[in-house]
Every structure is written in C-alpha cells, then in structure tokens.
Structure 1
Amino acid sequence: MNELTMMQRVVVWFLPVVFAITVHEVAHGWVAKKYGDNTAFMLGRLTLNPIRHIDMVGTIILPGLLLLTGTGFIFGWAKPVPVDARNFKHPRHDMAIVALAGPMANLLMAIAWALLVRLGAIISAEYISLPLIYTGIAGISINLVLALINLLPIPPLDGSRILTGILPAKLAWQYNQLERFGFIILLVLLYTQVLGAILAYPMYVAQKVFFSIAGL
C-alpha cells in the first residue's frame, strides 16, 4: 500500500482494526456464556458496538502510532471482556476454549476479508473495487497479526490461557505468576524487534494461505 497517502492508509485500516479487536473480545464473551459464565453478557459487552470495547491506548493510540511510523507491524487490543472462570464446570479446560475463541474469530474474519478482496477484483469500477481490495488486504493482515500474537504463550495473552489448560495444576499456577510481567515482556519483544522475528515466518505462511483465498 505504498502508493496510498497517509490519510488514505488511516481510512483503509480504521475499520479492519476496530472490527478485528472488537469481534475478538465478543468471541471470548460469547463462548464464555455458552460455557455458563454470563459476566460479559450482564455487563453489556456482548455487542459489536465498538464504543463498548475501545481502549484508548490499545485500540486508537498504539495502532495509530504504528501506522503513522510505517513499522509495517500493526496490532492493538480492546478492553478485555470480563470472564469469571468460577462459573465454569471445568474452569481450566473451559477457560482454554474461551481463550481460543478470540484467535479463531480473527481467522474467520481474515477469511471474510479475503472474500471481500475477491469481490473487489471482479468489480470493474475502480472507485469501488480498489477500496474493497485495499481494505480487505488490511483486514487479512490485522486479523492474522492479532491471531498469531494472541497465541503466544505470554500471560495474559490467549496462548497462555490455552497452555494453562494443558499444564498440571501446580505448574500452571506457577506459570501464571508471570502475568504481572506479561505486558512488559511484550513491549520489550516489540521494541527489540524480537516479536517481529518470531512472527515473521508464521505470518508469511498465513498470508500466503489467506492471500490465495483472496485470489492474490
């Protein structure tokens, strides 16, 4: 998207970023409700209204800065949907499924954006087709990044909840003590570009698959 102006890039990325983050959180709450926890539902968080999920730093400021600085690596987060594992019949197992729901939602959205790109490709009018194609590519990219980052086993990312459901109880408890340092670890990995290095090959493979679905 190098040929786009900065304002065009902001317009192209805005909806994909907001929906990727919003639907990710709603997926957690929706699956939690299916497993017996109504916390998110009672607090009005099972809605696609992004205003209910926006975190000023994670949804607006950080993605905006990453986009404006041209890092080529854009991600963010919303206000976490509250989940009370005490309401689950099998807390660690059910929490792992709830955690997996977020990245799975992002992968499903990536498919939807890929189909939008295909739709854009068959429309002859460029003023319609190009916005669809550019927005679809952005949608694929942001959803793949969010899915891959959240699958990392760094507390409190979704990957750590999934791993907690697999580990023996004592080891899982010890492992989750890292949660207070998780955000710092993530920022250090991002700043040192280690995060980009870790995700580079999985992202390459995932983009290849989803761009092929998009017909690119």
Structure 2
Amino acid sequence: MSFLEKISPFERRDLLFAWFCLAVAFTLGISGGLALITDVGKISVNMLVMTFVVAVVTVGLSFVLHELAHKFVAIRYGYWAEFRKNTQMLLIAVVVAVITGIVFAAPGATLINTAGREMTKKENGIISLAGPLTNLILAVPFLACLIAGVLLGGASISVFTFPGFLFYLGMIGFQVNAMLAFFNMLPVGPLDGRKILRWNAVVFVALIAVSLLVLYVSLQPGMFVALLL
C-alpha cells in the first residue's frame, strides 16, 4: 500500500479543511486581525495574497506533516491512526484571529485505535516524539530559505521580490515550526511533551531544550541579516 493510500478520503477532507482554516487564521493574525477589516482602504491586496500563500505553505506543511508523522509511526507499531479535525476549535481560531490578531489553534488530533492492545510507554513516547521532531527538521529548510533571501537581497529586502519572498517565507516557516515544536513539547494535558516525559526524561529534556533554543533564534530574524551582511 502506497503512502497516499494509507490516508483515507475522510481523513484527507479533514486535513484539507484544517489546513485551509489555519491558513486563513494565520493570514488574519499576521495581517492584524480586526485592523485589517476596519482599515479596508489601507489593505494591500498583493500583501494579503502573499501572506495567505506563505501561510498555506508554512502552516499547512508544518501542521499536516506533524500529524502525519504521528500517524505513520503509530502505523509502524501496528495501530490504526487517523487525523480528525475539530471544526468548532478551527472556527474559534479564525474568529479569535479576526478580533485579536492572535492565532490560537487546536485544529484536531491524530486518533489512535489500539484494538484492545495495550500501548507501551515507549511506543506512546516515540509516536508523540515524531510530531515535534518533524517540526524541528522542517525548521531547517525554512531557515535555509531565510538565509538565501538575505544573501540574495542584501540589506533592503522588499517582500515583492524573489529574495524578499524567500526571506518572508523562510522567516514565517522557521517561526511556525519552532513554535509548534516547543508548544507541543510542554508536559501538560494531552500535549506530546507529557507522553515523552513519561517514557524518557532525558529525551524530553534534550528535545524541549533544543525546541526552546530554536524558538528563541527564530524570533530574532534581524540577527541573520546582521550576521550575513
């Protein structure tokens, strides 16, 4: 069975719906939420479209691959696993982004059916580890885009040039993946960090430390401009 055949039509619809809603929410959040609607005359349509495209690529890939990483590691252990969207939370994410300009999203979760078999702490920990680890890996090519944008564009980067687009895409993608990795590593509630900590404290400490470092670096894009020019 191929990679795509393991993703059911129902799951694909859920992933695409969540992908679209997250892209809309992030576009509104990055663009200023309610200010975007009240200052209609000041809206740059080109900037709005570019932000949406960047959100589709960065947020979409980061979210979808995070969930699919959980799914396919669970499948490797012999479990059934599928993503299920949370429509209510996705709509709330869009509304909150409109009102506050802040994105808070809980798009859904990858559900795992063990068919009566007891999942071990190791299995649960490694399945959980796959998500934030995927985001840390994804941060690397986005960082490369950011650096390429700086090197090609010089000190003054316009987002409507190819170097500027690369920089903008890389910066947002780097930040989104860093945030997703760190947030999911928090050892609370149903988040991945709690399950990883139960399995292996050393792995948890190492991964959350790396996630925090990557998050800090991702929030300093000016540092790359200063270092590279």
Which amino acid letter does the alignment assign opposite residue 28 of structure 1?
H
**Which one of the candidate residues 14, 25, 28 is aligned to 2:67?**
25
**Structure 1 position 79, deviation (Å):** 2.8
Q: Partner of 2:23 in structure 1?
A: none
1:89-100 equivalences in 2 (<5 Å): 91-100=120-129
Which amino acid letter does the alignment assign opposite residue 35 of structure 1?
Y
Cα distance in structure 1, aligned partners of 2:91 and 2:164: 25
* Partner secondary structure for residue 156 of structure 1: coil
- Residues 89 and 156 (structure 1), Cα distance of their counterparts in 2 relative to 1, 3 Å cut: closer
Which amino acid letter does the alignment assign opposite residue 118 of structure 1?
I
Q: What is the identity percentage for the equivalent residue pairs of Structure 1 and Structure 2?
A: 26
Cα distance in structure 2, aligned partners of 1:166 and 1:157: 15
User: Normalising by structure 2, what TM-score?
Assistant: 0.58
**Structure 1 position 27, deviation (Å):** 0.5
* Partner secondary structure for residue 108 of structure 2: coil
Which amino acid letter does the alignment assign opposite residue 103 of structure 1?
P
Q: Number of aligned pairs?
A: 169
Q: Residue 174 of structure 2 contacts residue 218 of structure 2 at CA under 8 Å; is this kept in 1?
A: no
Q: Partner of 1:111 in structure 2?
A: 140
**Structure 1 position 9, deviation (Å):** 3.8
Q: Partner of 2:100 in structure 1?
A: 69
* Partner secondary structure for residue 110 of structure 2: coil
Greater strand share, structure number: 2
- Residues 67 and 208 (structure 1), Cα distance of their counterparts in 2 relative to 1, 3 Å cut: farther
**Structure 1 position 25, deviation (Å):** 0.4
Q: Residue 16 of structure 1 contacts residue 142 of structure 1 at CA under 8 Å; is this kept in 2?
A: yes
- Residues 59 and 113 (structure 1), Cα distance of their counterparts in 2 relative to 1, 3 Å cut: farther
Cα distance in structure 1, aligned partners of 2:148 and 2:106: 29
Q: Partner of 1:152 in structure 2?
A: 186
Q: Partner of 2:4 in structure 1?
A: none
* Partner secondary structure for residue 82 of structure 1: strand
Q: Residue 85 of structure 1 contacts residue 91 of structure 1 at CA under 8 Å; is this kept in 2?
A: no
Cα distance in structure 1, aligned partners of 2:140 and 2:91: 24
Cα distance in structure 1, aligned partners of 2:56 and 2:92: 12
- Residues 87 and 136 (structure 1), Cα distance of their counterparts in 2 relative to 1, 3 Å cut: farther
- Residue-by-residue CA offset, 1:82-112 (whole Å, 9 max, x unaligned): 2234677852210111001111011111112
**Structure 1 position 64, deviation (Å):** 6.9
Query: RMSD between aligned alpha carbons?
Result: 3.8
Query: Are 1:129 and 2:163 matched, yes or no?
Result: yes
Q: Residue 178 of structure 2 contacts residue 218 of structure 2 at CA under 8 Å; is this kept in 1?
A: no
Cα distance in structure 1, aligned partners of 2:177 and 2:89: 15
Query: Are 1:83 and 2:83 matched, yes or no?
Result: no
* Partner secondary structure for residue 83 of structure 1: strand
**Structure 1 position 131, deviation (Å):** 1.5
- Residue-by-residue CA offset, 1:22-48 (whole Å, 9 max, x unaligned): 1110000111122222x12xx5x6xxx
Q: Residue 143 of structure 2 contacts residue 170 of structure 2 at CA under 8 Å; is this kept in 1?
A: yes
Cα distance in structure 2, aligned partners of 1:156 and 1:28: 14
The structure having more radius of gyration, on CA atoms, is 2
**Structure 1 position 67, deviation (Å):** 7.2
Which amino acid letter does the alignment assign opposite residue 100 of structure 1?
L
5+ residue gaps, structure 2, are 1-29, 32-42, 202-207
